[in-house]
Each structure stands twice: as structure tokens, then as C-alpha cells.
Amino acid sequence: LAGSGASRGLAVGQFELMAIFILIILGWFLAPIYIKSGVATMPEFLEKRFGSSSSKFFAGISIFIYIFTKITVTIFAGGILFYKIFGFSIYTSAIIILLITGLYSVIGGATAVIRTQAFQAVMLLLGAIILTLFGLNEVGGFSGLKQSLPADYFNMFKPVSDPDFPWTGIIFGAPIIAFWYWCADHYIVQKILSAKTINDARQGSLLAAFLKIFPIFILVLPGLIAAALFPGTTGDEAYPTLLASNILPVGIKGFVVAGLLAAIMSSLSSVFNVTAALFTNDFYKQKYPDASDRKLVLIGRLSTTLVVITAILCVPLIKLVGSQIYIFLQSVQAFISPPITAVFIFAILMKKTTSKAALWTLIIGEMIGISRLIVEVLNNLGILNQPFLQYYAGTNYLHFAIFLFVVSSILIISISLLTQNSEDPKINKIKYLLADSFSEIKIGINRLKPGSAVSAYKTNLILSAFIVLLIIGLWSLWY
């Protein structure tokens, strides 16, 4: 975020704001569905809805995404930080981070991951806030920052022709990616599934939605500060450059560095844990349903170890990441997420969606998305000579996400209509779908009588409205 902020300004923060709306939807409508379904993973949700074929394909795609995007990007970010602060090479830094994180993930399991994440989140927030405040003071406050940078840096809505953040892509494309990430990716939804009650899950989602406002100020804004203080510094070296400078006292600098390293390890440990859960529950347990809990724990730890080893072997792929990690990550997700988003949305909205439609939408959609990724890589290497393929490769990633989502939606509706009579009646359809979620909300709202004590529903409604008003305020400020 800071790297893209240093290069393009506040517009990258739109991804965070769009995610807020999706988190509100998650808390109010989807969390009740997921919890009532009684599933342990998101592929298991698809299995209950469509059978094992779709769920295994989805689980396999998820593991692939985790290893080749989340882990690669995270260790690249950590490598840059180590290089700027300690002088270690990016590859050496990546291996150190992977080994340390993998060690406590394998030994401690999910419990260690959850406990360390809570502590690391606090450290990240405090460290980022401190760096932002010191940076603003150094640049002369927000007014000084605006004087030091082009006016375009403070425009959150870019023209349709913008190569990175066209407003059409932000409004219609970013939510497609966000829905997959926040509502269908087990990396995130595992926290919802572990909630004790629906209200706990809802409040957790709304709290996350509120906290998503902060990255604009504590992650994107420092990128702008780095661009103002160190002209010519752009891309993902902006944040480490700001941190390595002399704007922070030595002791405070150490705390901020610790917070960032904690955040990096938190992200990695969560990916390790999720990958182990997917492999154990959606592959091993399916094949060996009578396996003991002790055996499942062992398999989980072995799969985590395998992921760590695979990640270390993939460290050389770091050089394929461009100068802006965040845009790289969003573009890859834009090529992969739309079919998954379409399948989950229609699984919930349209009860007549069939298992064959879900499976073929995933297969065809992912083939189209991966083809787009391959063509773009070839185009960047200067191999493509066909004008059509060059145009295909040059299409904005957010606009492509819209296109792929529309294609996936047409596929799942059409195939469902054609395969209604061939649907397996043994598949356990999840009954608690969106209509039931609306009913549950309506019942809660009807209980809000004038003069009654502040209930959980009332608190959640007020918080939701407050968050939406904050976003509207930010948009009006930086339109």
C-alpha cells in the first residue's frame, strides 16, 4: 500500500474502502449462513452445497494461490525491509522469515497463530501510527504534504483511462476481488467460522470494517510522506526508506520495525495454518474419514512443513514481482477471483444452481483467468506480436475482473438451467441461504422497540451506519 501510495497517491486506498462494504455484507448476511451450515472450511461449504468435485477443485486452487501469491508477496515485502534496515539480501531475509514463522506455526498450530496474530496486530497498528505522526511532523503537516506533491496524488477517483486505478474498475471491479478475499477465501473466513455465536461473528466483521479505514492513514499516507521527503523514491522501497531514515528516535524505530516484522510473520503464519487446514480437512480427511484427531494434527503439521519447504524453493520467484507489490497482488487476484466470487454468490442467491454449473464455471473461469496472466507475462517479456493478444494483455486488470465475472455469471446460470434434471438429489443443499439471513435480521430489527435497552442489533446497526458515513466523508474530502 505504501509503495503504491508513493507512486500514485491516495487512490490505492480505494481497495481498503471497497473492502469495508464487503465486510459489512459478510457480517450481516454471510456470517449467519456460514455458521449455521456448520462447516470447518470454505471448500467444505461448497461440498455441502455442490458435492466434492467443486470443493476439491476450489481447495486446490486456494492452496496454489496461497503459495504463489500470498507467501511470495509477503516474503518479498519482508526481504525489502530486512535489506533496508539490516543490509541482508532479499533472498537471505526471505528464508530467515520463513523458517522462524514456519517453526512456531508447526509447533504451536492454530492456537499459536491466533494468539500471536492478536499481539502482532496491536504492534503493527501502534508502529504504523507512530511512523505516520513523525513523518507528518517532518513534512510540515498535511498542508505541507499537499504542497510537496502533485494535486493528482490526493484524487481518489482516477479517469477511466488510468492504467492502475480507473474509477470504473474501482467501483465495479474491486468489490469482485474483495468478495472473494473477505467472503470466500478461507484465509479470512476461518476467523468467522471460529466465532462462538452469529453475533460474535457479526461484531468481529464490523470491527474489521471499522479498522479498514486506518490503512489509508497509516499505510498509504506514509508512502506519500516518503515521496515528499525523498524525491525519486517510489514503489515498494518507499516505506522501508522512510523507516530507515532519521525521522524516528532509535528506540521508537526499533519498536516500529518490530511491529512490521510481526505483521509479516502474522500474515505468513495465517497462510501456513490455512493451507494445513485445507489439506487436512478437504483432502486427507475425505480419504481417511476415520482418522484420529492425533493423526489429523500430525498431518496438519506435516503439511505446514511441506508448505514452508515449497515456499523456500519459490524464493527465486521473488524477482518476478514488480516495483509495486500491491498492484501485482491485486492484478493476480483479479485474474483468479471472479469465477470463485460468481460461484459463491449464486450458491447463496440462486437455490437452483447445480453442482455441474459450479464445477464447470470454476474450471472454465480459471482457465480464462490464467490465460490472461500468461499472456500478460509473455507481453511484458516482449514475446507477443499479435495485436489482439497485446490488447488482451494490456486490458486493465480491474476491467478484466468485471469481464470475467460477467462471463462466469452467464456460465453458471446457463449451465444450471441446462442441468436441472441431472442434479444429484443426495447432495445436502444448505438450507440457511440468504432469504433466511434476511428473515433473521428482520426479526432482530422488529425487536428494537422505542425505549428499549441498547441491544446487540442496535449497536451493530449504528456502527454499520457510522462506518458508511465515514467512507462517504472520505470520498467527499478527496474526490
Cβ–Cβ < 8 Å for 343, 54:
yes
Question: Predicted confidence band at 83 (pLDDT cuts at 50, 70, 90)?
Answer: confident
Does pLDDT of 452 surpass 50?
no
Cβ–Cβ < 8 Å for 204, 191:
yes
Most confident of 161-165, 260-264, 401-405, 474-478: 401-405
Q: What is the CA radius of gyration of the chain?
A: 23
pLDDT of residue 450: 53
Upper half-sphere CA count for residue 46 (Cβ side, 13 Å): 31
What average pLDDT does the segment 331-358 reach?
92
CATH fold of 2-324+456-477, please?
Sodium/glucose cotransporter (1.20.1730)
Does pLDDT of 181 surpass 90?
yes
Question: Predicted confidence band at 454 (pLDDT cuts at 50, 70, 90)?
Answer: low
What average pLDDT does the segment 252-260 reach?
80
Task: For Cα atoms 52, 56, 59, give the angle at the middle one, nearest 5 degrees.
Answer: 140
| Average pLDDT over all residues of the chain | 83
